[in-house]
Structure 1
Amino acid sequence: MRWNIMTKKESNQTATQGGVKVLRVVNFSHPLSEVAVEQLGHPEIENVQVQIDLDAPVAPQIVDIVDGVETRLDGTVAGLAIVLPGMSEATAYLIAELHGRMGGFPNIVPLRRDDELGVFGVATEGVQSLDRVRRAARGRRR
């Protein structure tokens, strides 16, 4: 079933995926498939290994991992998007750490499995701005 990721036609029709032009990806997950790289427009990619020791506190491990990232994470890199790790606890700490360093939430690359191709590709909604999601949520405050 191919409904869950962008088709080549969809990714070619929009230079900006989900309204975010991706120039550089910091990948905290498994290496991206060629399908995903093509859908993102062949950006520069920095792959970051995330190995979490579950017998130790996770937050300091995330700090160490982010300290090792070569890409500037101070909010000055245009077109930056993040591929999140699969472990929810690591993802929560990573988003908090990145928000603190960047001064805002990062753009994220949501991935979905394409059963027909057997690979992960960019979800049909494209790259998402978590800052945009946050601003929308502020409007729903009670």
Structure 2
Amino acid sequence: MSTRDRNLLLIAFAWLVAIVATSGSLYYSNVRHLIPCELCWYQRIFMYPLVLILGIATFFGDARIRRYALPMALVGGSISALHYAEQKIPGFKPTACAATPIPCNIEYVNYFGFVTIAFMALVAFTLIALALFFVREERP
């Protein structure tokens, strides 16, 4: 498999993960009517644009997207990790949430005792970052 084909698959995979994550976020807020906390909003700020820029990169087969999308995934993942720590680590001081009335340590969902919305976002950001980490720019 050529570098270009491998890059295209990795970028398309990252795009698919971003689409699923964004769709899940919109489902929880617009269908289930769960109000996002402040950290959820910050995670959305980093996830939603990834759908657009990874989609464009997939369409054009542009491996240079790694320069822009990887930092976004890493910062979004860091916010998700902080959010998950606030939810699951007893005694972890919650972030002062001034933008929304919802505290950031609330768990709307808790599948299997550990899968919260913050955890799902962390997994999505991690998958996107891993895929983009292995994208290599082609040398002329």
TM-score by length of 1: 0.29
Computing the radius of gyration from Cα coordinates, the structure with the larger value is 2
Q: Which has the higher strand share?
A: 1
| Higher percent of residues as helix | 2
Query: Relative contact order (C-alpha < 8 Å, sep 6+): which is higher?
Result: 2
